[in-house]
Chain A
Amino acid sequence: MALFLYKPHVAGPEGNITTPDIVIDRLFVDGKVKPLGGLTIELAHEVDGDQSPRAGYAITALGGGALISPALCLGDTVAVARSAWRVNNLDGHIGAVSLNGTPLSEVGLPSQVIEAAGGSSDTLPRGYMLICQSGFSDNRAELLDNAKNRSLIHRLFLSDVNADRWGESRPKPRYSVGPTQKEIPHFI
Chain B
Amino acid sequence: MKYKAYAATMQSVWFSEDEGESWNRLLTPTGGFYNEARCWAVHTHPDRPGELLAGTDQGLYHYTKETGRFDYIPSPMDSLHILQIAQDPHDPNFIMCGTRPGEIFISEDNGANWTRSNLNASTECWFINTSRVTSIHFDPRDRDTIWITIEIDGALRSTDRGKTWELMITGLHDNDTHDMVFRDYEDGSRKILMSTEDGVHASTDEGRTWEQLQIPQAKWDYFRSLKQPAENSDTVIASVGDKPSGEAGQFLISRDFGETWAEAEMDHPPNSTLWSIGTNAADTSLLFAITIFGQIFKSTDGGSSWKKIKRELGEIRMVTWTPV
Contact = CB atoms under 8 A, between A and B. Distances in A.
Given A17-B31, A19-B34, A178 B74 contact: no
Nearest to B59: A82
Interface in A47-67: none
Contact of A184 (B28, B126, B154): B126
Contact of A82 (B67, B78, B118): B78
Size range of the interface on A?
Answer: 20 to 34
Contact of A177 (B28, B29, B113, B175): B175
Interface string B58-71: 11000000010111
A180 B76 contact: no
Contact of A176 (B69, B75, B126): B126
B175 A44 contact: no
Contacts of A17: 30-32, 69-71
A19 B118 CA distance: 33
Contact of A16 (B69, B124, B125): B69
A157 B75 CA distance: 10
Interface stretch (B135-143, B166-174, B186-194, B234-242): B166-174
Interface in B106-160: 113, 116, 118, 120, 122-127, 152-154
Interface stretch (A94-102, A103-111, A115-123, A163-171): A163-171
Interface in B12-58: 28-34, 58
Nearest to A155: B74
A-B pairs, 9 with minimum CB distance: A16-B30, A171-B120, A176-B122, A17-B32, A179-B176, A19-B34, A9-B72, A179-B174, A178-B126
Interface of A: 7, 9, 15-19, 21, 41-44, 81-83, 154-155, 157, 165-166, 169, 171, 176-181, 184, 187
